[in-house]
Amino acid sequence: MSESPEPGPAPVSGFLRVLASTRYLIFIAVAGTLIGATTLLGYGAVETFSIVRGILDPSLDSPKAKQLILAFIELTDIFLLATVLYVIAIGLFELFVDDRLDLPNWLEIHDLNDLKEKLIGVLIVVMAVLFLGQVVTWDGERNLLQYGAGIALVIAALTWFVSQKSKKGA
């Protein structure tokens, strides 16, 4: 009488293999956000040269100081949004595809909470820059207190959210 082989782990079915490989669909999101980040960076570079050309070219109507400040604040906002898209792309790639990218420690993302914290940090800066743009262009008639209070409330809520996640992890 022959002995039956000892039962081992069940072989992975074809369905489970297919299901596991669907994580590579995240390449669509990674590619889309990288394209968006690259587009915004390119647009920001073109706008930067356009503003500088407007200052240096005497035949063009040179912007006044307040207009110039606002233009560069808006450019900063564009670059920050490009940074958000880049962080999302890198984070999604690290989470779903391969986390062995050669990145600085501050950009390494090992779980969804890491990605959330990094995004929240950049979003807070974006909101602050948006408010700064409103302050620079303030005409004295609009009520910036409500606008600023709304942004401050969102920043406070996001900061509290991140601090609660940190406490749970500690």
Q: What was the pLDDT predicted at 49?
A: 93
| Nearest alpha carbon to residue 34 among 88, 76, 99 | 88
71-85 pLDDT, tens digit per residue, is 888 898 899 899 989
Say what the alpha-carbon torsion angle 42, 47, 50, 56 is, to the nearest 10 degrees. -110
**104 token code pair:** 């600085």
Average pLDDT, the chain: 84
Average pLDDT over residues 17-22: 83
Confidence of residue 60 (pLDDT cuts 50, 70, 90): low
Global model pTM greater than 0.85: no
Confidence of residue 168 (pLDDT cuts 50, 70, 90): low
The number of beta carbons lying within 10 Å of the beta carbon of residue 160 is 10
**98 token code pair:** 């391969």
87-130 pLDDT, tens digit per residue, is 899 999 988 888 888 888 888 888 888 888 888 888 888 888 88
The DSSP output letter for 170 is -
Rounded to a whole number of angstroms, the distance between the first and last alpha carbons of the chain is: 59
Q: What was the pLDDT predicted at 63?
A: 65
pLDDT of 151 higher than 60:
yes
